[in-house]
A and B are shown apart, each in its own frame.
Chain A
């Protein structure tokens, strides 16, 4: 029987040589005449092991980590199954604590299957949620989502069922489902990983959402920095259309649903749902004011469900296994699992899907294994570039939305970036403001001018100029930006600044000159 050899086609894996490894393996198969087939899978999300080559065996998939092209000739010597003693071999992949200790509901197929193989998706539990949803009314589907306690995974954590219900309630000839895949937060990559590893899950999630809301057209808004995700999703959409999963009668007789892929053009602010809608409409990506909410007046003025990739993906689990099942995971008001994304100065970076409620410390210690540099970790930024920088004293905070809000921080999209003790949070403070200045759409004044002035004031503080007055000005500016900004970009920029003022004040404020 032909042995399948899996090499991720994932952006992260390829950035460390997976493509080169794959072509070396392909040549080896040819050269050695192996009865083997190379499969380009997605990634498991254990990025510290990439390129992670997996080979089917009777005992399951055997992993070979951090494979380089030069290893290939010693891996495949007359047999498709390398010697287990090979220096790259890590044994059964399923047994890896990094993976075994996760609670994967959404990323269960990631890295396991050929992402665009529809049969493989089906064979591994795909479409169970859609099939069940199709036996239910729209209201019942929304009810299932309500019972799951699912909250928006894009960062705002808004209860998904309220949005879904709101779109369902609108009487309109046209409704849309828009997937926000403009994953712009630094230190986040779960959306991309899912699209590259398991795109049908997203498509299934959108179909469920379409069934639940009565939408007839979907859009995926994908950032331009994700060309591989674009290629995978384009292929998956084409297969789904050919197989009749999308298109006419996709949501039952007479109820069509199709998905169009739209690419961003490099603006962070397009991750904000209303500027994303403007961008899809072909307009300058400026933030809209709310109300009207997109669920009532969204894309092209029609009721529109805008959800993050992970929110829509979670719907497949919820519909397949029931809202109660999903809600049985998690803590407090944060139900289900969250794919945390660990990066920065960390030994074992990657996607770690866990129920809400574990502590930040256990995540960075147990899964992350401490700093990559070996020096003590000093600060962890959670929730993307606009999340707070947390000192070790706060690392026991459980990873749930409310607990993080209580320490003036946020979980956001689940990005966690670690810094060791060489970090200068004064530099980071300036970076935060500069990030806001770079990415501001320019519509509202607090963000447009405030971010630039913020950079200047922080520079003055760091230079030691009139510190007391400038710190007071910075604090006033933070209030103006937080209260006055039109969207979360300007509104959340003060969060990391304040966390630095609170927890790492001495990094920012040196002695007055």
Chain B
């Protein structure tokens, strides 16, 4: 297997979805394929070779290269097989003397304008032009070398990850089409005409300065070395491949790690990936260099006191040290003095053993995970209403949606691969409603425009969702048939009476939300009357004091309009991290065992107790904020934190730091000495996703395999570390592999009953519930009936947040993510992605900037009631007057210094999205301080 690209059999054009079968003859072979299939696809699928250059099966046929020509009996000329659909009874010939002559003639033309440096070309051995030239038997180029050519065109090396060498370009437009059709950014074009046609960014800029989002789809689509990864230029072609799953956002892209020996050369998205279908973003495809960054800590370290220097020790010593400390705390203060925080960045298997460590070895339920600070209200809200703490659809469901409501999410930055799918659907004609305080890119960008942008004031989500539902109920838009057959009548009638109250009318809510009432009414009608309407939401919904209320409000709206329980509809959280769903599924919560079963249920507990041979605590443990409070009060003395930088990511940094400082023993397991590690006594090296073995579960409940691309760099897997710690603390834990852990999960968790790593290896990712080995998973939830039986409507009284603006703090700060960076930046800051975003900025409306004397790029002081920080201002009307916005990717920004401890009433999810602040230019602030 010499050609990496051939690990995917490229059939030239996308498959047809027709159910009608057509039979034709190609080269004397009778072939049956779905109507609408191209001759090329049908032929290649049957093993009949047809040369091609501009065709690739991820893109619509284009018909420009003219090497795939065929002859069809009864038709004139030589139609292109990529653009000609099969017809019944058609007789096609793919190999004739005249076809051979014309194909060779076309290749001769290509090569007459192509450098003859194959031996030293980075694509050597993996070049479609080279391959086709060989296939058609091109032996000489009679046009000579003196003619017009593009050989002296300058290379563009501005992108940190790939180069563009127009001298090697065959102008097949695959890059342009990939940017348009797959990514949906429209950053590339063909400039000039005829022979002068060259690929260019749309404004003629260098790639780095252009609208290019560096998703790499163009590089992947390029058949030559024109667009090629710098890593391939440097190291040569990869020679082996391992399929795995991206560890950034909750889309969970399937990737093919392509290696040369043990060196990772490039990541290519897997066309068979259920979530991403062959697409990736700048993070997943390119930003994996942190795994081998020199900052990685690869040796365990301990210290007596946190102000001592770290001592490098062996694994055995480190684990013994931690076990002794934890054991001493347990002996002295009792089993409730210990706790653990697991990570939604880690695998299901790792999370499972951490919660087992806490429950079985520590002997309590003080286990929580970072979903606490992002999507805990999703779990709560959807469980209350539908009965399952998960999104209802797969991503592909958006392909049949007609109206798409995006609330509090910015997919083009935070979930780019899903955004590409969404935008494709919008280009097909689906209507979009955006609910967001900011004018995110989806509101208006190339070939995408939201029908309505409900630009609400941060913190008024529930007022808005109530207004939308009010319109549905009072304008007769309720899907009565759905409600009466599928939902709980009593709760619906109560909700209907509640929501119909005039106080919820858009006209009255306008005062709070600032969204014009007629826009709300029109958006509600659009959503309610669509054939298929669907909701996608993000942390702009959950990270509020009424996060859970809002999630229930979304569920109410979907149920009332019947937009739930089939393809194209649903309520879908866009999960922030790769394994938020999985970390929650695995029982990494103080009150729930795996599969969302309450610890107080003796039957459930009994199941685990008999398997684990240890009594379990029936009382729910501490949530993360509770752990910090307990640490400050002295009741929690020891904490194990795996893969989460709470000191940077959790709200009110000062409060968190004080809590961590109060601990007798803090054990941190991570890739890097992060902010939290500054307070730790034991540091255990973790594994990057390239070393891990196990599974991640993405936002569509898809359990995807994570496979080790390289051996654990620190010598021990994370689940081995935890197992050894547990064993050292007196509760023996032994697994031989991640697969054994999954077997235990499957044995204890009905929704995972049919899951095993062997099955995932064989069948690909599966969406839970997978109730047994006969099940292939569940694409769409609540078909036929809700998991809880009847859909439950919940009352959603709007209660304004206590975080209010005042004369001193007149602006509202809201936070989010940017495309090239990821969360607190631990990983992406250690990659070349800093080329796009090397510092955080504060977006401020021109009006607010002017009244404060702030100009573009000025350093400003951002202050809240909790603290202050400094960062440069970016003056933009993307934010409305009265709202400022920043990202929290860089520790220097310390955005969470200013955020408050306000949190969701039901789940304690922090209210990151609303903080009353003021912003002043640094010079003014300094003057004031002097005075």
Residues of A within 8 A of B (CB): 267, 284, 286, 289-291, 437-453, 456-457, 469, 473, 476-477, 479-480, 483-486
Distance A444 CA – B195 CA, assembled complex (angstroms): 10
**Is A289 within 8 A of B80, CB to CB?**
yes
What's the least CB distance linking A285 to chain B, in Å?
9
What's the least CB distance linking A364 to chain B, in Å?
31
**Is A291 within 8 A of B63, CB to CB?**
no
**Is A452 within 8 A of B195, CB to CB?**
yes
**Is B63 within 8 A of A442, CB to CB?**
no
Query: Chain B 195-226 against A: per-residue CB contact (8 Å), 1 yes, 0 no?
Result: 11100000000000000000000000000000
| Sampled A-B contacts (5; CB under 8 Å) | A284-B189, A483-B78, A484-B102, A486-B63, A486-B66
Within B148-181, the residues touching A (CB, 8 Å) are: 148, 170-171, 173
**Is A291 within 8 A of B85, CB to CB?**
yes
**Is A485 within 8 A of B195, CB to CB?**
no
**Is A479 within 8 A of B64, CB to CB?**
no
What's the least CB distance linking B98 to chain A, in Å?
7
Q: A442-B192, A442-B193, A444-B66 are in contact. Are A452 and B105 (CB under 8 A)?
A: no
Q: A473-B143, A483-B69, A484-B69 are in contact. Are A441 and B194 (CB under 8 A)?
A: yes
What's the least CB distance linking B113 to chain A, in Å?
6
Taking CB atoms, residues of chain B closer than 8 Å to A441 are 193-194
**Is B194 within 8 A of A450, CB to CB?**
no
Query: Chain B 59-76 against A: per-residue CB contact (8 Å), 1 yes, 0 no?
Result: 001111110010000000
Taking CB atoms, residues of chain A closer than 8 Å to B108 are 480
Taking CB atoms, residues of chain A closer than 8 Å to B84 are 291
Tell me how many residue pairs across A and B have CB atoms closer than 8 Å.
106
Q: A452-B195, A483-B78 are in contact. Are A446 and B109 (CB under 8 A)?
A: yes
Q: A449-B109, A453-B143, A456-B143 are in contact. Are A479 and B195 (CB under 8 A)?
A: no
Set B78, B147, B193: member contacting A484, Cβ < 8 A? B78
Within B210-263, the residues touching A (CB, 8 Å) are: none
Taking CB atoms, residues of chain A closer than 8 Å to B98 are 479, 483
Taking CB atoms, residues of chain B closer than 8 Å to A447 are 194
**Is B101 within 8 A of A476, CB to CB?**
yes
Taking CB atoms, residues of chain A closer than 8 Å to B63 are 289, 444, 486
What's the least CB distance linking B60 to chain A, in Å?
10
**Is A438 within 8 A of B64, CB to CB?**
no
What's the least CB distance linking B393 to chain A, in Å?
27
Nearest 9 pairs of A and B residues by beta carbon: A480-B105, A442-B197, A440-B194, A289-B63, A289-B83, A449-B109, A484-B66, A452-B195, A456-B147
**Is A484 within 8 A of B64, CB to CB?**
no
Distance A339 CA – B64 CA, assembled complex (angstroms): 35
Set A439, A469, A479: member contacting B142, Cβ < 8 A? A469
Given known contacts A289-B63, A480-B109, A484-B106, what 7 new A-B pairs fall within 8 Å (CB)? A440-B195, A443-B64, A443-B173, A445-B106, A449-B110, A453-B109, A456-B147
Please give me the residue from chain A that is nearest to B189 by CB atom.
A284
Taking CB atoms, residues of chain B closer than 8 Å to A479 are 98, 101-102, 105
Taking CB atoms, residues of chain A closer than 8 Å to B80 are 289, 486
Q: Say yes or no for B77: interface residue by CB 8 A criterion.
A: yes
**Is A445 within 8 A of B66, CB to CB?**
yes
Please give me the residue from chain B that is nearest to A442 by CB atom.
B197
**Is B195 within 8 A of A442, CB to CB?**
yes
**Is B64 within 8 A of A445, CB to CB?**
yes
What's the least CB distance linking B339 to chain A, in Å?
60
What number of B residues sit within 8 Å (CB to CB) of A? 39
Taking CB atoms, residues of chain B closer than 8 Å to A451 are 194-195
What's the least CB distance linking B68 to chain A, in Å?
11
Q: A448-B171, A453-B147, A457-B143 are in contact. Are A476 and B105 (CB under 8 A)?
A: yes
**Is A438 within 8 A of B66, CB to CB?**
no
The B contact surface, by secondary structure, is loop
Q: A449-B112, A456-B148, A483-B98 are in contact. Are A442 and B190 (CB under 8 A)?
A: yes
Within B110-158, the residues touching A (CB, 8 Å) are: 110, 112-113, 142-143, 146-148
**Is A445 within 8 A of B65, CB to CB?**
yes
Please give me the residue from chain A that is nearest to B429 by CB atom.
A301
Distance A485 CA – B78 CA, assembled complex (angstroms): 9
Taking CB atoms, residues of chain B closer than 8 Å to A291 are 83-85
Set B62, B148, B170, B197: member contacting A289, Cβ < 8 A? B62
Taking CB atoms, residues of chain A closer than 8 Å to B65 are 444-445
Taking CB atoms, residues of chain B closer than 8 Å to A446 are 66, 105-106, 109
Most buried by A among B80, B84, B108: B108
Set B110, B143, B190, B193: member contacting A445, Cβ < 8 A? B110
Set A438, A448, A473: member contacting B197, Cβ < 8 A? A448
Q: A284-B189, A289-B83, A473-B142 are in contact. Are A486 and B64 (CB under 8 A)?
A: yes
Distance A6 CA – B628 CA, assembled complex (angstroms): 97
Q: A442-B171, A453-B147 are in contact. Are A448 and B78 (CB under 8 A)?
A: no
Please give me the residue from chain A that is nearest to B61 by CB atom.
A289
Please give me the residue from chain A that is nearest to B192 by CB atom.
A442
Distance A442 CA – B172 CA, assembled complex (angstroms): 10
Most buried by A among B80, B109, B112: B109
Q: A289-B80, A451-B194 are in contact. Are A480 and B142 (CB under 8 A)?
A: no
What's the least CB distance linking B448 to chain A, in Å?
16
Set A267, A437, A473: member contacting B195, Cβ < 8 A? A437
What's the least CB distance linking B179 to chain A, in Å?
14
Distance A392 CA – B785 CA, assembled complex (angstroms): 84
Taking CB atoms, residues of chain A closer than 8 Å to B189 are 284
Taking CB atoms, residues of chain A closer than 8 Å to B143 are 453, 456-457, 473
Most buried by A among B85, B171, B192: B171
Q: A456-B143, A479-B105, A484-B105 are in contact. Are A449 and B195 (CB under 8 A)?
A: yes
Please give me the residue from chain A that is nearest to B148 by CB atom.
A452
What's the least CB distance linking B96 to chain A, in Å?
11
Distance A290 CA – B75 CA, assembled complex (angstroms): 13
What's the least CB distance linking A271 to chain B, in Å?
15
Most buried by B among A291, A442, A449, A477: A449
Please give me the residue from chain A that is nearest to B197 by CB atom.
A442
Set A267, A444, A456, A469: member contacting B64, Cβ < 8 A? A444
Please give me the residue from chain B that is nearest to A469 by CB atom.
B142
Taking CB atoms, residues of chain B closer than 8 Å to A486 are 63-64, 66, 80
Distance A483 CA – B96 CA, assembled complex (angstroms): 13
What's the least CB distance linking B219 to chain A, in Å?
22
What's the least CB distance linking B659 to chain A, in Å?
59
Distance A95 CA – B331 CA, assembled complex (angstroms): 124
Please give me the residue from chain A that is nearest to B147 by CB atom.
A456
Please give me the residue from chain A that is nearest to B172 by CB atom.
A445
Most buried by B among A267, A440, A469, A480: A480
What's the least CB distance linking B383 to chain A, in Å?
44
Set A439, A457, A477, A480: member contacting B194, Cβ < 8 A? A439
What's the least CB distance linking A385 to chain B, in Å?
15
Taking CB atoms, residues of chain A closer than 8 Å to B113 are 449
What's the least CB distance linking B261 to chain A, in Å?
38
Taking CB atoms, residues of chain B closer than 8 Å to A284 are 189-190
Please give me the residue from chain B that is nearest to A450 by CB atom.
B109
**Is B147 within 8 A of A483, CB to CB?**
no
Distance A24 CA – B35 CA, assembled complex (angstroms): 68
Distance A443 CA – B83 CA, assembled complex (angstroms): 14
**Is A438 within 8 A of B106, CB to CB?**
no
Distance A284 CA – B69 CA, assembled complex (angstroms): 25
Taking CB atoms, residues of chain A closer than 8 Å to B112 are 449, 453
**Is A442 within 8 A of B194, CB to CB?**
yes
Distance A284 CA – B197 CA, assembled complex (angstroms): 12
Please give me the residue from chain A that is nearest to B65 by CB atom.
A445
Set A443, A445, A452: member contacting B147, Cβ < 8 A? A452
Most buried by B among A290, A443, A453, A479: A443
